[in-house]
Amino acid sequence: MITVKKKLFKFSLISVILLVSLWILKDLSLSWVEVNPAYAQVTINFLFPMDKDKFPECIKLTSQLPYAKDFDYSIDWLTDSVVCIKLKEQNFIKGQKAQLLIKDAPSKLSFISRNAKAAIQFKSEVSIIEPTENILIATEKPFVVKFNTPMNKHKLYKYLQCDTTFYIEPAITFNHLGKQVEDPTAFVFTPKTPLENNGRYILSFRKGMPSQSGVLLKQDAQVILTTDIKPVIASTYPATDSKWIGLYPRLKIETDSPTVAGYLTINNTKIQGKNIDPYHLEFLLDKVLEPNTVYQAVFQVESASGELSIPKEIQFTTTNIEDDKIWLEVLTHTKAKINVYKGTQKIKTFLCSVGDQKHSLSLGTYYITDKGESFVDHQNREGANFWIKVYDGCMLQGLIRDEYWNIKQDYLNRLGKPVDRRNIIINDEDIKWLYHHITKDTMIIIHR
């Protein structure tokens, strides 16, 4: 009885040892990596004869940089259990870290699959790929220097020579999960102190600077920087200390050199302007101003390099609204309407239709210049009762009528909605009231 128990114990022990050995052998393999500038070669001994046909399906490569993940590889079986995998980077960025993963590769023993992994550090000569020529930069803004291979920020500091100093940080990119990661091939240089306008600076990276892979820069490399001139705001509208400015003015500036952006700060709100051309910008406010009020406005413009002008500060005073003075406000939002004010009190509201996107109104402050009891558009064979001119190409008018002077129902039914006209259309009773109660020079504000 004791002998049988000993045999069972030995059998169980051997079985356990065998299973543990197989489990250990599952991830045990012998591998070595050889790297030269042209390619990397990974040799793996799986210790078991492998299923060669299914092996390619089990290969996975991960790269250091999410945007440089293209590799080419070939498979060469030296024996049934030893494979040689030759890998090449197929990216404009080379010399990065990568990992070769073999996952559940089947052996010729149906109950055994094999795993392996190998870390690879590709090699590449070092060069600067951006910028390749003299670049124009702002005196205080950062710029990027990009290498063809991953570098070490601390080594850049050590091998960099320049007449000024910079903060240097790796640029940020995103991995396949959308998470921010550092890009060791691109570095953001930010001047520690403002550079001189219209100056010339040379960044010199000295021979011997090592890359991440340990390859040394063969000869000095340079990046030539020219700092931009500072743009100047030549004139503004309104000019400083202007008075009687409308309650919704189109503020404008003119510069003496090309700009790509402009900014206005007023009422603690910063507004980006619209470039009319490289030398002219205009700004639309986010709300109507108060009457008879002094406002401070600060303008600043930006050139293509990112160079900012010296802020230009002005002040102006809005127009006074007399208690018995009538003025109009046209709101062009989803359901357009006209508010009529007497002094600061709203006395009437009219529903109206304004032009669609193709026929949009020009926002701003205007003053009525003319009016009449009727008009006829002979070209379109239509007309309307009463009209009040707002600006060239736009007027307030009654409902559109056909050549027989019948109201076109489509436009009657669309009051409050966009129409394919540049004029502001309101009911005949409303335009008649306006015609008889407003005078020339009446202020009309058009805004969103």
DSSP structure string for 333-352: SSS-EEEEEETTEEEEEEEE
**Residues 25-121, CATH architecture:** Sandwich (2.60)
For the chain, domain boundaries: 25-121, 128-227, 233-318, 326-447
Q: Which of 115, 88, 208 is nearest to 156 (CA)?
A: 208
The string of DSSP codes covering 102-165 is EEEEEBSSTT-EEEEEEEEE------EEE--S-EEE-SSS-EEEEESS---HHHHHHHEE-SS-
The reply to whether 25-121 and 233-318 are identical in fold is yes
Burial class of residue 76 in the structure, from the number of CB atoms within 10 Å of its CB (0-12 exposed, 13-18 middle, 19+ buried) = exposed
Residue 318 identity: T
The fold adopted by the segment(s) 128-227 is Immunoglobulin-like (2.60.40)
Burial class of residue 413 in the structure, from the number of CB atoms within 10 Å of its CB (0-12 exposed, 13-18 middle, 19+ buried) = exposed
Find residue 252's DSSP bridge partners.
237, 282
pLDDT one digit per residue (tens) for the chain, 448 residues? 556 555 565 555 555 454 445 454 555 678 899 998 899 999 999 999 999 999 999 999 999 998 988 999 999 999 999 999 999 999 999 999 999 999 999 999 888 899 999 999 999 999 999 998 899 999 999 999 999 999 998 899 999 999 999 999 999 999 878 899 999 999 999 999 999 999 999 999 999 999 999 999 999 999 999 999 999 999 999 999 999 999 999 999 999 999 999 999 999 999 999 999 999 999 999 899 999 999 999 999 999 999 999 999 999 999 999 999 999 999 998 789 999 999 999 999 999 999 888 888 999 999 999 999 998 988 889 999 999 999 999 999 999 999 999 998 878 888 888 888 889 999 999 999 999 999 989 999 999 8
Computed over every residue of the chain, the mean pLDDT equals 91
CB 302 within 8 A of CB 229: no
Choose which CATH entry (3.30.70.20, 3.40.190.10, 1.10.10.10, 2.40.440.10) describes domain 326-447. 2.40.440.10
Determine the longest span between alpha carbons in the chain, in angstroms. Answer: 126
CATH number of the structural domain 233-318: 2.60.40.1220
Q: Is the dihedral of CA 132, 136, 139, 144 positive or negative?
A: negative
Q: Say which residues have a Cβ less than 8 Å from residue 378's Cβ, sequence separation at least 6.
A: none
* DSSP code for 69: -
